[in-house]
A and B are shown apart, each in its own frame.
Chain A
């Protein structure tokens, strides 16, 4: 329908001419990724929104404990060109903070709230982002961080079913063979008119 390969290259030249991009990836003909510095994100999203990338498809984060960084991901989409743009930026892990993009994309409200819940990132300017959304009464570190161990949490909080070795007691069941033989004998008996 559309010549998407050119679209992706067009996007790369368009963005690189305006912004200092740390790293550009041309993932596939429908997908481009830019790694930028944190201060550029707002103006870049604004610029892309005005150029036709009107839909915020996804917003989330990735935890990189070795580098002591938290990576934010914004994915925007243009339905006319058919190109997804990933915008990524690394922020501090100890004190993850970011300004909300609520003025640009109102649809980000719940994505940011979820990112706060699962990664502990604070979004300034999003009024409800500190409220709990999916978890209820959570009492541990945010669960999608890499140092959270769900198995340990599960074992500490929920009783496990214990299986004994003789849980399956097949040997103590009545033999089906005997039952079948008894039934056959009964049938034979009835056929013969009750005589043995």
Chain B
């Protein structure tokens, strides 16, 4: 095979190569944000600790959103959490991925007619991988992460680009459901 000289490549191709290299490392060291938004979070401790050992996939928990790659939405989202979730999501540095666990993030699940729980997560933040089940067991959660790694490899996990491009649409949906995205409480005033 004829080797290509670096100088012959266009800037676009060079960028793409670098992204591929970046994606390789990225998908093998995914750090997820420890934000337990709902009840599916109870299956995460077994996944993280010695029973299933998530670290063999190169994944680990991360305490701050600025250094995390995955935002794990574990289950139902009440309006109060959604405000904080959007706040957290916008703090994360790109590229960032969202995994939705449980039926509640897909269509509201058992809380489909509740006055406090949203029904469809991808109206507010883009979701890359969904894991169905109420609650999904640990194997399913791990499988969801493997799916995400595949999606990164095939460049289909580009929810963060969608969020950037369609920011107005997402923001409009957020405001329509929440009224106001900013957090107001005694602490913030």
Direct contact of A and B (CB under 8 A): yes
CB within 8 Å for A135 and B107 given contacts A157-B177, A159-B173: no
Q: Is B57 an interface residue (CB 8 A)?
A: no
Stretch from A71-79, A92-100, A148-156 at the B interface? A148-156
Q: Is A143 an interface residue (CB 8 A)?
A: yes
Partner of A161, one of B80, B106, B114, B185: B106
Chain A residues with a Cβ under 8 A of chain B: 134-137, 139-140, 143, 148, 150-151, 153-154, 157-161
Give the CA-CA distance A134 to B119 in the complex, in Å.
Answer: 19
CB within 8 Å for A159 and B123 given contacts A139-B179, A150-B113, A153-B115: yes
- List of B residues within 8 angstroms of A135 by Cβ: 80, 116
Q: Which of B70-110 contact A (CB under 8 A)?
A: 79-80, 83, 106-108
Q: Is B178 an interface residue (CB 8 A)?
A: yes
Partner of A137, one of B106, B108, B180: B180
Partner of B120, one of A136, A137, A151, A161: A161
Q: Could you tell me if A160 and B115 are in contact, using CB atoms closer than 8 angstroms? A: no
Q: Could you tell me if B120 and A150 are in contact, using CB atoms closer than 8 angstroms? A: no
Chain B residues with a Cβ under 8 A of chain A: 79-80, 83, 106-108, 112-120, 123, 173, 176-180, 184-185
- List of B residues within 8 angstroms of A150 by Cβ: 113-115
Q: Could you tell me if B115 and A143 are in contact, using CB atoms closer than 8 angstroms? A: yes
Q: Could you tell me if B83 and A154 are in contact, using CB atoms closer than 8 angstroms? A: no
- List of B residues within 8 angstroms of A136 by Cβ: 79-80, 83, 184-185
CB within 8 Å for A158 and B119 given contacts A136-B83, A150-B113, A150-B114: yes
- List of A residues within 8 angstroms of B79 by Cβ: 136-137
Give the CA-CA distance A161 to B119 in the complex, in Å.
Answer: 7
- List of A residues within 8 angstroms of B120 by Cβ: 158-161
- For the complex formed, measure the closest distance between the CB of A143 and the CB atoms of chain B, giving whole angstroms: 5
Q: Could you tell me if A154 and B180 are in contact, using CB atoms closer than 8 angstroms? A: no
- For the complex formed, measure the closest distance between the CB of B169 and the CB atoms of chain A, giving whole angstroms: 12
Q: List 23 A-B contacts (CB under 8 A).
A: A135-B80, A135-B116, A136-B184, A136-B185, A140-B115, A143-B115, A143-B116, A148-B115, A150-B114, A154-B108, A154-B114, A154-B115, A158-B119, A158-B120, A158-B177, A159-B119, A159-B123, A159-B173, A160-B112, A160-B119, A160-B120, A161-B108, A161-B120
Q: List 8 tightest A-B contacts by C-beta distance, closest first.
A: A150-B115, A151-B113, A161-B107, A153-B115, A158-B119, A136-B80, A161-B120, A159-B123
Q: Could you tell me if B107 and A154 are in contact, using CB atoms closer than 8 angstroms? A: no
Give the CA-CA distance A137 to B185 in the complex, in Å.
Answer: 10
- List of A residues within 8 angstroms of B123 by Cβ: 159
- List of B residues within 8 angstroms of A154 by Cβ: 108, 112-115, 117, 119
- List of B residues within 8 angstroms of A137 by Cβ: 79, 178-180, 184
- For the complex formed, measure the closest distance between the CB of A19 and the CB atoms of chain B, giving whole angstroms: 39
- List of B residues within 8 angstroms of A151 by Cβ: 113
- List of B residues within 8 angstroms of A157 by Cβ: 176-177
- For the complex formed, measure the closest distance between the CB of A84 and the CB atoms of chain B, giving whole angstroms: 29
> Which residue of A is nearest B119, CB measured?
A158
- List of A residues within 8 angstroms of B112 by Cβ: 154, 160
A-B contact sample (8 more), CB < 8 A, given A137-B79, A154-B119, A157-B176:
A135-B80, A137-B179, A137-B184, A150-B115, A154-B114, A160-B107, A161-B107, A161-B119
